[in-house]
Amino acid sequence: MAESRMQALVVDDNLALARVTQFALQRIGCEATTAGNGRIALDLARARQFDVVVTDQQMPEMTGVELCRNLRNLPGYGSTPLVMLTAKGLEMELSTLQEELGIRRVFPKPFSPSEVAAAVQDALTTAAP
Amino acid sequence: MRSSRWKPSSRRRIVAWHLMFSLTALLLLGAETVGRADRLHARRSSEAYVARFGRLAAAVEMAYVRGASAAVGDLLRVEAAAAGAAYCGIVDGSGRYARHSGEGEGTLADAGNEVVQRWGAIAAVRLLGSGQGLLEFRTPLSAADASLGELRMGVPNPLADATWLHGAERLSVAYLMALGLLAIGAVLVGRQAEGLGAIEEQLRRTAGLPQEAPVALEPVRACHALSVGWNRVVDALTHRTRQAGRALDLQEHLDQTAATQQQMQYEAILRNLAEGVAVTDVGGRVQFANAAVAALLDDEPDPTSLLGAALTEQLEKEASPESRVSLRKWVAADAASAGPLQVECDAERTYHVERSSLDTPDGGYVWLLRDVSQQRLAQQSRDQFIDTATHELRTPLANIKAYAEMLASADDIDLEHQKEFCNVINAEVTRLARFVDDLLSISSLEVGTLTIDARPVELGRLFDEVAAKARPLMEQKSLAFSTTLPPKLPEAKIDKDKIAAVLVNLLGNAAKYTPATGRVALRVSAEEKRLRIAVEDSGVGVAAEELPKLFDKFFRSSDPRVQAETGTGLGLSLAREVVRVHGGEIRVESVLNEGSTFIVELPLA
């Protein structure tokens, strides 16, 4: 059972927010892992394959967009659904983000964890072959 | 202008009139004198004849008395010759010559002859018959009461004689003298009238001038009262004109001085403006620059060093490469439509440049230059603050919303999680409240209304409370936290809450920026009149170049280890303000990567 569960990675320097997002994803049946910044997230992504990545944009060391770009360069992450959370404006146009990085959705903070979970579920079902 | 036709000068006319009247008078006088002299001469001649004639008559009568009548004829001849008479004779009672100096015989017609004068018995008769006009003296002769006839003597008529020549002869000398005097008079009159012509000419010219034209008179040669008087008048007029001119000059001078002074004032204002003002010609060469411009562009207080230089080149020298490009575009654009430009020189300096066309015939531009580095830095700090504040507000809000929604939407959350979620919400609300407090403090600090409520405070208790508040932060990161207090602490008159907030803030920073397992110490010492509180940590430290800005409002270190932590950049500036209001001071000693010590000193008295 555990093997068949979708693997989700939640990246946010705000640990409380990462925790509640993780909780919401777990409720829809995902196995969610949290990471406090982009570097840890990349390490985790290299270690094992995630089916979906939810990341904050404003983070120290590496922004969400930079993380997405790095992820796309990793083997196995070419078409992994990406969802972004942001408290401020983005450093580039939404259309560019979607085109270049294939980011599915962008949620402005404060966001509803259930909506994020729904978007993740939607992404997983359409992405699944 | 009126054509000046030649006219005989007044002097000549006056001399001519003088000569004409004088000569006429002289002629009349001469004629009268000649007439008078003539008459006098005639009378004198007549009287001489009469005397001679009287004596002759007496001699003839004597000769008849003596009986020597024969000698009468000789007597008559001798007398006629001596008197220059034409003849001399005795006429008897029948009207015949009894005796005659010549051969005169016969009866004499006496009709028509008139007696012109009588001297007693002697009568003078003008003889009409004589062509040459003889005058005949007649007197009756008698001897021993018997009439002897009449003695007659014809002489040339002295009245009819051309005797005026005699007068004229005598007259000539006097006449010549009179003429001489007349000539002298003419010369004198001429000299008297000498200046008149010049004066008259000037007056005529003046009369012909228009009303408002200036009157220009010239002095004439001073030779008499009139010309001297004229010259005085001319002098007075010239003097008055000059005085008026001088008064006019003075007014002009005053006006000019006032204008110069005003211009100097304007220039002084321009020179001393804190804002840079420069004027360039159409070619962009500096014609005027004030000290502020020189300081901005040349780092030199003397603005004359910029004169003639191309202002744009000077600006380009200062500008960063990117700014240089935009500056060139801006200068090439129309001055009227192009707005102000921000020229970035480096990270620290930014100039605000404005340009407008100069409204003069020569054209050119007026430039305004201002150093807006401070404003720009302030703006950057403010932007950063807005950024931070937004983040600081959004993060707890996002958490609160997410957790609250999660709690509300899911009924099947176990109690453990529910409790955890509520704690998170509680912690986030606390964080939010603290941030709002910070904002309120900073806004009161901003408007200068930070007041302290100073009361006697037991310092020992204050430090215990502060330590108690800070301890959980230390424990979270496993930091070694120690407090060192003197055995006996004095009482101090301070605002306990605000000082406590400052110390908690300092300890909170120490905890925030000290890596786990580091150490933090609170050391208090009381000197004579000063309380010294030091907060030491073995944290990330502060780079030397950032130390001076550490207490600035909104300042946050660019160190990534600091950036990773949340913060408003307000805590330290607030702390400094609180300490300052207490009359104390706050300072920092720090070595990067080794740790920092914040020292607060408060007066105790």
Annotate A41-81 with DSSP letters as a single string: HHHHHHHS--SEEEEES--SSS-HHHHHHHHHHSTT-SS--
What range defines the domain where residue A94 resides? 7-127
pLDDT at residue B262 above 70? Answer: yes
Please answer whether residues B398 and A111 qualify as being in contact, where contact means their C-beta atoms are separated by less than 8 angstroms. yes
Q: Which of these ranges, B268-272, B300-304, B425-429, has the smallest mean pLDDT?
A: B300-304
Same-domain pairing of B122 and B72:
yes
- Is B337 found in the same domain as B388? no
Q: What residue type is assigned to position B333 of the chain?
A: A
> What pLDDT digit, counting tens, does each position of B191-248 carry?
777 777 788 888 888 888 888 777 778 888 877 777 888 888 888 888 888 888 888 8
Kindly give the pairing relationship between strand A52-56 and strand B455-458: unpaired
- A69, A77 contact by CB (below 8 A): no
Residue A21 resides in a domain = yes
pLDDT in tens, B456-510: 999 999 999 999 989 988 998 899 999 999 988 888 899 988 898 899 989 999 9
The pLDDT assigned to B597 comes to: 96
Whether B367 and chain A come into contact, CB under 8 Å, resolves to no
pLDDT of residue B602: 93
- Average pLDDT on A102-129 reads 85
The domain boundary residue, chosen from B344, B371, B398: B371
* Residue B381: domain span: 377-442
Most confident of B87-96, B127-136, B347-356, B461-470: B461-470
pLDDT reported for residue B103: 61
Cβ within 8 Å of A, B 369-408: 387, 390-391, 394-395, 397-403, 405-406
- For the segment A64-98, what is each residue's pLDDT rounded down to a tens digit? 999 999 999 999 998 899 999 987 766 567 777 88
CA distances from B122 to B40, B61, B73, B101, B409 (A): 20, 15, 21, 19, 196
What is the pLDDT confidence band of residue B3, given thresholds at 50, 70 and 90?
very low
Confidence label for A35 from pLDDT (cuts 50, 70 and 90)? very high
Both tokens of B286, joined, read 């500096």
Determine contact: A13 vs chain B, CB below 8 A. Answer: yes
Any domain includes B387 = yes
Give a yes or no: residue A107 inside a domain.
yes
* Residue B235 counted as domain residue: no
Residue B202: inside a domain, yes or no?
Answer: no
Tens of pLDDT along B552-584?
A: 877 888 887 887 777 777 789 889 988 988 999
CATH number of residue A43's parent domain: 3.40.50.2300
Count CA atoms within 13 Å of residue B153 on its CB side: 29
Q: How far away is chain A from the Cα of B566, in angstroms, using its nearest Cα?
A: 10
Q: Give the C-alpha separation, B214 to B232, whole Å.
A: 18
Q: How many domains does chain B have?
A: 4
Do B47 and B144 fall into the same domain? yes
Do B436 and B345 fall into the same domain?
Answer: no
Question: Is A73 domain-assigned?
Answer: yes
Contact A18, A53 (CB under 8 A): no
Out of B117, B135, B163, pick the residue that ends a domain.
Answer: B163
Residue B353 CA to residue B331 CA, distance in Å, equals 10
Inside any domain, residue B599 = yes
Question: How far does Cα B278 stand from its chain's mean position?
Answer: 29
- Chain B's closest residue to A117, CA to CA, is B406
CATH value at residue B511: 3.30.565.10
Q: A54-58, B436-440, B449-453: which has the highest mean pLDDT? A: A54-58
3-state secondary structure of A88: coil
Tell me whether residue B559 is in a domain. yes
Across the A/B interface, how many CB contacts are shorter than 8 Å?
A: 62
Distance CA B283, CA B278 (A): 14
CA distances, B169 to each of B43, B45, B460 (Å): 18, 17, 161
* CATH value at residue B400: 1.10.287.130
Q: Is residue B435 within 8 Å of B397, Cβ to Cβ?
A: no
Q: Please, which pLDDT band fits residue A127 given cuts at 50, 70 and 90? A: low
Q: Same domain, yes or no, for B280 and B300?
A: yes
Domain annotation covers residue B482: yes
Using a CB–CB cutoff of 8 Å, tell me whether A24 touches chain B: yes
Q: What is the pLDDT of residues B27-80, one digit of tens each?
A: 888 888 878 877 788 778 788 888 888 888 888 888 888 877 777 888 888 888
Residues B580 and B482 in one domain: yes
Same domain for B410 and B365: no
DSSP conformation class of B548: G
Task: Please state, in angstroms and rounded to a whole number, the distance separating the CA atoms of residues B167 and B171.
Answer: 6
Which CATH number is B46's domain given? 3.30.450.20
* Residues B392, B353 within the same domain: no
Q: Tokens representing B242?
A: 């000059």
Better-scored residue on pLDDT, B414 or B8: B414
pTM above 0.90, yes or no: no
Q: How many residues does chain B have?
A: 605
Q: Number of folded domains in chain A?
A: 1
For residue B263, tell me if it sits in a domain. Answer: no
- CB of A98 less than 8 A from some CB of B: no
pLDDT at residue B1 in the model: 40
Residues B364 and B395 both lie in one domain: no
Q: Check CB contact of A115 with chain B, cutoff 8 Å.
A: no
- Residue B234 near residue B217, CB atoms below 8 Å: yes
Segment B138-176, tens digit of pLDDT: 888 887 777 878 888 888 776 655 555 555 666 677 778
Are B29 and B144 contained in the same domain?
yes
**Nearest CA among B398, B452, B434 for reference residue A20:** B398
Q: At which of B316, B345, B371 does a domain end?
A: B371
Residue B130: inside a domain: yes
